[in-house]
Amino acid sequence: MSIASAFTVSKQLCINTKKSCCIRIGPRCDMATANISTSNGHTLPWANEIRYLGMYITAGRHRRCSTSYAKRSFHRSINAIFGKVGRIASEEVVLELVRSKCMPILLYGLECFFLPKSDVKSLDFAVTRFLMKLFRTANYDVIGLLDCCKFFEFTLPSEYLVKKLEKFIVRYKNCSSLHWYFAITAN
């Protein structure tokens, strides 16, 4: 009996095999693995990507999340805003709606992961495309989107993620419930 099976039996927990799967993260992520069975005899499938608390975690050598679902939801929420207010609302109103409603969708939980520069640039590009649509231009340099961001005090995801990461680290360091865990595991 595995440690996980022993724990679930001792705590009278049951694993929902319809919603559960296994993922491998680490240097040996590519190696063949044996099937994992529950105490009931059900086999848990192996997956390349799992959804956990709204984040999509991908299998690989390092802990990493997928940003494609976040970008898809971001575009869906922006299109919903444009569908409701269209071109009737001013740019300031639309930007405030996007800042308060859409940016949290795009950046949800990303401070917990190391994002490669390509993913961060991809998030910036998603917002840049929205700005191009809002300001009705197909050329990035025509109106200077960075100047527009400064004028409207609208931050790109790359800047916003730095702030969220700093805030996360401060909270993480100040969390008293984690101090005992690190004290035990350090010994």
Output the DSSP codes for 4-64: HHHHHHHTT----TTT--B--BSTTTTS----EE-TTSPEEPB-SEEEETTEEEE-BSS-E
What was the pLDDT predicted at 2?
62
Instruction: Take residue 18 and report the two structure tokens written for it.
Output: 């319809």
pLDDT tens digits along 6-35: 766 777 777 788 888 888 888 888 887 787
3-state DSSP call for residue 185?
helix
Give me the residue spans of the domains in the chain: 1-62, 67-174
Q: Which of 93, 43, 103 has the alpha carbon at shortest distance from 73?
A: 103
Query: How do 64-65 and 49-52 pair as beta strands?
Result: unpaired
Task: Give the chain's length.
Answer: 187
The mean of the pLDDT values for the chain is 82
Q: Which of 97, 115, 94 has the alpha carbon at shortest distance from 165?
A: 115
What was the pLDDT predicted at 72?
95
> Could you say which DSSP state residue 32 is in?
-
Low-confidence ranges of the chain (pLDDT < 50): 180-187
Residue 50's φ and ψ, nearest 5 degrees, are -130, 155
- 15 residue type, one letter: I
Helices (H) and strands (E) in the chain, counts: 8, 5
> Could you say which DSSP state residue 37 is in?
E
Instruction: Take residue 55 and report the two structure tokens written for it.
Output: 């984040």
What was the pLDDT predicted at 118?
93
Residue 13's φ and ψ, nearest 5 degrees, are -100, 150
> Could you say which DSSP state residue 46 is in?
B
3-state DSSP call for residue 65?
strand
